[in-house]
Structure 1
């Protein structure tokens, strides 16, 4: 991510709102700059990070757009791999051996008999290295000495500028104390990244559909400086772009000292694209087979029920449960039966699944349980949800019968 000094000059203020000055990835002059930087960066493969920084400084020279250039360069560096020099001795060992000889001087005379060159030769002999190797390894654990071994993505000027926009947008959240998002799809990925970046949340269903989620941190209510936690929210932001419909509103405290300000983004922001990977359509072969069999035997245009993938979630205190499927009555979308397939054998998975099912206390949840698991009907005693065991794979006729039975019991007779 960009450092804060590359974000601050680009913050824009209007009343109590803050935004950041994004760039146009289609601008010819910007694309030319991006192309030159990409070429300069690639020319430093297998050279030190220090050499790259010197070349970048020379490239910037008297340019007035140094904030942009350094920002683009930071994106290039963050996507690359810099590797320490490989040798039989670590820099620590080389330094300890070198410094054991005491003070050295550039040349030797009567008052300074020990020269640096003579000590280098002695250390090289001690460690069975060449003097050049000793010189290179002496401070090789400094990042400036690391070698550029992998330049990262195959950047194009447009891709680099687009990623730079993303880094600018997420950079405003460095100074955020709270983040509120509204989402209507892709719940599983959202929660995966909420957990990954260790964000605390409060979620509730939205009247317009989807969910409203407030992200907060354990320290923000107690201290004024929330930069560390703000960086976690900034790291999370690209996950939002994996959703088709989303809104974001944050309370931020810009370093210019203007107090609390409002920062907003939504899914109409065409210049923002995520570099996070979306999860696959199905988490297991069992889920894929279930969806395929439903499509083959029932189909989305026949029968009473529609099958939707992970379109609802259950909020369970400090976590959530995203059922695999939802059966929706074609004639009344309020009649919904959640379906969770339990076909994984790992004991910890089963324990966590049972804990979530008990916490959900959801009467319109149907669990389809593989009989080969080390569980029985007794393990589900006291659970509000319905349970249906299957020997090899769920039988669609039996599943639909159970769904219909639950629908009648929970929602009453369906209107005709």
Structure 2
């Protein structure tokens, strides 16, 4: 963005437009000269650069445009003090040596000499760099070159961003490209709603002028959304612009991809600034490390919340086709949150949790559950909610399975594979078999094994002592987990160290009653 005093606009019949720089021969020549000043200015003081740019004012272009171009060029420049020592330390030593104001050249020279000797530099060097850390005294150390037409396009983008800093709302249409724009809006923490569907779908973002206490910070975030919009092949924006010149007025602003030739294209935007969404990323990383059965999804599908509105939550947790959504709230106004919650209450058959920054001072009775946080979203209330949902899910599925006739075929049947075929959670099916084991089968770990097959395996294992050999035999019989079968057959395992190679199996002795019988 540009400083507000450099914004150049025209108004007509309630509409406002930035005065973009058309790439005419005169404008391109001005841009070329200014780029030349910077390209040839490495090592020059910032004040010298500014003086050279100022000499170009007063021509065919508004002085604000020249200064605006300079502001853009400064974003691609680096300045640093041209000093072997910290000028602040030099001044501290000089003021200490003077013991008061230096009223004449002699006193000044004496203080400067004492300071320079302490820092190991010449008096002449100390005199040159005494104020070297001031902005005008810093020297140009790096400049990222660009073409004249790129400079004009970047200036036009900055004009658009600066104007939208005064917007009350921004309505965006980007047919076929809306999801990257929405994703960026969410990353930036902007307050938004989705209206309509299909090609007519609109993303409506609240403007800085509607967020009274967040104007500067929020306006900067909104400005960062604009490059993502103009990257789309087809787009249009509409905004209400609040002006405070003489008396407040609300003007309308609109722009579309038909004006795209005046704005940066992909290669001219430069490196896009990535939003540091540490809060969301940190939560995602911490939850993923838990190994939960619930799968966490980032930016799941949109939720319709009635009246043609839609909503895209931050996360969804999914287990056996059941989804519970989570929205993290950290940069919204209380009024916006209240409206959002009311809309979510109207979402049919949607389970949603909301995590709210405690500093916002919001209290709500949202039925889906509210988790308050300070620095990071706590995992425990999230996990507790998911565990309750899993218990409900298991109870429902087990109850459903009790009324089903489940066909079992084969000597060894995988519970997991059977669950997939039946479309039920494998945990629920295993719990069902624990209480209702099919006739003629034994539940061994995650497999159903025919009793006749177990008897066959028992005879094959006769005389086998090495655990490794026993496991190989069981694997050849289709058994994936040997230990439940070995235990069923009355074998104990004796380990010799941690490796399986030296381990042995031995049948437990039958008790006396069994022997006497």
Change (3 A) 1:353 1:69: same
1:175–1:255: 8 Å Cα contact kept in structure 2? no
Is 1:53 equivalent to 2:41 in the alignment?
A: no
CA drift of 1:276 comes to: 5.9
Which residue is 2:406 aligned to? none
Q: State the alpha-carbon separation in 1 of the partners of residues 271 and 203 from structure 2.
A: 21
Change (3 A) 1:119 1:358: same
CA drift of 1:195 comes to: 3.8
Is 1:144 equivalent to 2:136 in the alignment?
A: yes
1:185–1:210: 8 Å Cα contact kept in structure 2? no
Is 1:241 equivalent to 2:237 in the alignment?
A: no
2:168–2:208: 8 Å Cα contact kept in structure 1? no
Which residue is 1:314 aligned to? 302
Change (3 A) 1:222 1:210: same
Which residue is 2:210 aligned to? 220
Change (3 A) 1:199 1:242: same
Change (3 A) 1:17 1:272: same
CA drift of 1:44 comes to: 1.0
Change (3 A) 1:319 1:276: farther
Change (3 A) 1:135 1:380: farther
Q: State the alpha-carbon separation in 1 of the partners of residues 46 and 311 from structure 2.
A: 42
Is 1:166 equivalent to 2:157 in the alignment?
A: yes
Q: State the alpha-carbon separation in 2 of the partners of residues 218 and 70 from structure 1.
A: 25
1:353-399 Cα offsets, whole Å, 9 max, x none, are: 52894128999xxxxxxxxxxxxx9999478xxxxxxxxxxxxxxxx
Change (3 A) 1:171 1:222: closer
Which of 66, 70, 77 is residue 67 of structure 2 equivalent to? Answer: 70
Change (3 A) 1:189 1:35: same
CA drift of 1:129 comes to: 2.0
Aligned length, in residue pairs: 302
Which residue is 1:198 aligned to? 189
Q: State the alpha-carbon separation in 1 of the partners of residues 5 and 208 from structure 2.
A: 26
2:83–2:132: 8 Å Cα contact kept in structure 1? no
1:252-285 Cα offsets, whole Å, 9 max, x none, are: 1124235111111122222222516689xxxxxx
Change (3 A) 1:357 1:79: farther
Question: Structure 1-normalised TM-score?
Answer: 0.62
Which of 5, 11, 14 is residue 13 of structure 1 equivalent to? Answer: 11
Change (3 A) 1:5 1:222: closer
Which residue is 1:98 aligned to? 94
Q: State the alpha-carbon separation in 2 of the partners of residues 222 and 170 from structure 1.
A: 18
Q: State the alpha-carbon separation in 2 of the partners of residues 255 and 83 from structure 1.
A: 37
Q: Which has the higher helix share?
A: 2
Which residue is 2:123 aligned to? 131
- Range with bigger deviation, 62-71 or 255-264: 62-71
Which residue is 1:359 aligned to? 325
Q: State the alpha-carbon separation in 2 of the partners of residues 198 and 145 from structure 1.
A: 38
Which of 181, 186, 189 is residue 180 of structure 2 equivalent to? Answer: 189
1:215-274 Cα offsets, whole Å, 9 max, x none, are: 126872557x94653343233212101222222111111242351111111222222225
1:177–1:230: 8 Å Cα contact kept in structure 2? no
Q: State the alpha-carbon separation in 2 of the partners of residues 218 and 66 from structure 1.
A: 27
Tell me the secondary structure at the aligned position of residue 38 of structure 2. helix
Tell me the secondary structure at the aligned position of residue 54 of structure 1. helix
Aligned 1:24-35 pairs, distance under 5 A: 24-25=22-23, 27-35=24-32
2:56–2:66: 8 Å Cα contact kept in structure 1? no
- Range with bigger deviation, 120-129 or 232-241: 232-241
Q: State the alpha-carbon separation in 2 of the partners of residues 175 and 58 from structure 1.
A: 31
Is 1:268 equivalent to 2:258 in the alignment?
A: yes
CA drift of 1:104 comes to: 1.2
Q: State the alpha-carbon separation in 1 of the partners of residues 186 and 299 from structure 2.
A: 19
Tell me the secondary structure at the aligned position of residue 243 of structure 2. coil
